């Protein structure tokens, strides 16, 4: 028994540690404080790394800068160890050893490791100090954890993921243009400038710097044919290089329009259960549960009357102030949820429309309408208004309901 208690207590501690190191979990002061300290120490570390590049400042504040770096890096190391200890909480579907491996080789795991390991490696391998110092730059990527507080970076990832085919296609076209431009310019300029355009790579450097920047001026054509070719390549480059930018910009516009449509059209949440409080003049007062006429896959899960919980058998009569817990059963494996609450906002197409005139699927039913916290049993003549919360039941896929509600 004591052994079980020790195991349970250890698991509780590990759960506590996992919540603490998980960015964005701010359900108590410890978790919120850890996030704040982690972010502040990361910023301090980055500021110290920048200030170390100023020779005069570095010489004047050598001790302070090194102590600040040592403390912040030690925190990164402790943070990494805590994440290893709680890795199975991050990957609960995997055995503990496999969860640790999954974290170590994940993107964040590699960033967390490189944020502190290069600092300590020179103590063991002094010869590679310069190379190890280069990897310290990886610390800046720890800032991506702040994305847990904002959807901005998520939107960027969604845009790139959704447009990756078009982006890769445009990058491939640009690569082909650079390759063709380098070979053409080498062929035209090699005899006139053998020391400048030594090989195809010299032409590729010229083509890349010309197409992607304004050119560095270290390599440029001097023949008439080369200059004409340079003008043509530059004109082509201006148009082609702008393609990825246009694709990403269009993706951002689509994402924000989609977000705006969800915000202006409806606020909705998929549910399995809904709580209904019976108020005065509700049509269900005095009716037996078996006489409510609910669809076959919707049932009254629980009836709460005062301090008493009543098993909702068919002959139970509903009374004023009863609290009903309505549940929806899934009908098929691929129909995950079939009970949905839709809140009508100003631009929703159901506003001002009678229920009998709604253009919805035959497999969809409006079960209840919550208007100003009053439950209304719907009938065909009921007109839906802005602010109504409509409980929709469907035996169809939830994605179809979403599509119908939006469009």
State mean pLDDT over 343-367. Answer: 75
Q: What percent of the chain has pLDDT over 90?
A: 4
Length of the chain measured in residues: 407
Question: In the structure, what pLDDT confidence band is assigned to residue 260 with cuts at 50, 70 and 90?
Answer: low
Is there a contact between 65 and 73 (Cβ–Cβ < 8 Å)?
A: no
Amino acid 67: pLDDT: 93
Q: What is the pLDDT of residue 336?
A: 43
- Whether 247 maps to a domain, the answer reads yes
Q: Give the per-residue pLDDT at 19.
A: 80
CA distances from 336 to 243, 271, 273, 388, 398 (A): 40, 10, 13, 25, 7
288 and 397 inside one domain = yes
What residue numbers bound the domain in which 243 lies? 164-264
Q: In terms of domains, do 49 and 92 share one?
A: yes
Report the pLDDT averaged over residues 150-165: 73
Confidence band (pLDDT; 50, 70, 90) for 259? low
CATH number of the domain residue 218 falls in: 1.10.287.70
Cβ(85)–Cβ(17) under 8 Å? yes
Average pLDDT over residues 250-268: 66
Kindly report which listed range (10-24, 129-143, 168-182, 360-374) carries the lowest average pLDDT score.
129-143
6 and 139 together in one domain: yes
Average pLDDT score over residue span 348-366: 73
Query: Domain ends where: 206, 230, 264?
Result: 264
Rounded to 10 degrees, the C-alpha dihedral 394/400/402/405 comes to: -80
26-69 pLDDT, tens digit each = 557 887 888 888 889 888 988 888 888 888 888 888 899 889 98
Q: Report how far residue 371's alpha carbon sits from residue 374's, in angstroms, rounded to the nearest whole number.
A: 5
Query: So what's the pLDDT on residue 78?
Result: 92
pLDDT at 318 over 60: yes
98 and 215 housed in the same domain = no
Question: Residue 337, SS3?
Answer: coil
Q: Please report the pLDDT score of residue 81 as a whole number.
A: 92
Domain count, the chain: 3
Q: Greater confidence, 47 or 272? A: 47
State yes or no: pLDDT of 1 exceeds 60: no
Angstrom CA distances, 37 to 76, 137, 142, 145, 205, stand at 11, 20, 13, 13, 45
Q: Are residues 259 and 315 in the same domain?
A: no
**pLDDT for residue 378 is more than 80:** no
Is the pTM higher than 0.85? The answer reads no
How confident is the model at residue 400, as a pLDDT? 41
Domain CATH for 88? 1.20.120
| pLDDT at 27 (0 to 100) | 59
Name the residue among 52, 44, 50 with its Cα closest to residue 74.
Answer: 44
> pLDDT tens across 89-141, in order?
888 778 888 988 999 998 888 888 888 888 887 776 665 555 556 666 777 77
What would the pLDDT profile of 276-297 be if each residue is shown by its tens digit?
788 887 778 888 888 887 766 6
């Amino acid at each position: 028994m004591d052994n079980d208690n020790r195991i349970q207590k250890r698991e509780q501690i590990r759960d506590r540690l996992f919540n603490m190191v998980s960015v964005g979990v701010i359900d108590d002061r410890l978790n919120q404080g850890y996030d704040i300290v982690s972010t502040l120490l990361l910023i301090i570390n980055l500021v110290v790394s920048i200030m170390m590049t100023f020779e005069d400042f570095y010489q004047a504040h050598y001790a302070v800068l090194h102590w600040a770096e040592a403390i912040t890096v030690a925190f990164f190391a402790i943070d990494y160890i805590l994440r290893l200890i709680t890795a199975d909480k991050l990957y609960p579907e995997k055995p503990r050893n496999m969860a640790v491996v999954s974290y170590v080789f994940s993107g964040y795991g590699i960033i967390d490791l490189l944020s502190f390991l290069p600092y300590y490696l020179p103590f063991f391998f002094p010869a590679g100090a310069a190379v190890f110092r280069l990897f310290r730059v990886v610390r800046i990527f720890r800032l991506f954890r702040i994305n847990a507080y904002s959807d901005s970076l998520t939107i960027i990832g969604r845009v790139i993921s959704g447009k990756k085919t078009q982006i890769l296609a445009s990058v491939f076209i640009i690569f082909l243009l650079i390759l063709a431009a380098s070979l053409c310019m080498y062929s035209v300029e090699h005899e006139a400038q053998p020391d400048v355009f030594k090989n195809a790579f010299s032409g590729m450097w010229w083509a890349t710097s010309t197409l992607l920047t304004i050119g560095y001026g270290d390599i440029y054509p001097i023949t008439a044919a080369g200059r004409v070719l340079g003008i043509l390549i530059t004109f082509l480059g201006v148009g082609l290089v702008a393609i990825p930018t246009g694709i990403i910009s269009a993706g951002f516009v689509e994402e924000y329009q989609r977000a705006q449509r969800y915000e202006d059209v409806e606020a909705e949440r998929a549910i399995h259960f809904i709580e209904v409080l019976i108020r005065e003049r509700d049509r269900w007062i005095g009716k037996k549960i078996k006489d409510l006429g609910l669809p076959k896959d919707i049932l009254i899960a629980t009836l709460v009357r005062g301090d008493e919980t009543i098993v909702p058998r068919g002959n139970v009569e509903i009374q004023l102030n009863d609290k009903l817990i309505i549940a929806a059963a899934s009908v098929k494996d691929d129909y995950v949820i079939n009970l949905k609450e839709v809140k009508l906002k100003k631009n929703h197409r159901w506003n001002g429309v009678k229920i009998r005139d709604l253009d919805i699927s035959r497999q969809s039913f409006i079960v209840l309408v919550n208007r100003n916290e009053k439950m209304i049993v719907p009938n065909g003549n009921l007109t839906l208004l802005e602010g109504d919360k409509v409980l929709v039941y469907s035996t169809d896929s939830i994605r179809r309901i979403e599509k119908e509600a939006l469009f």
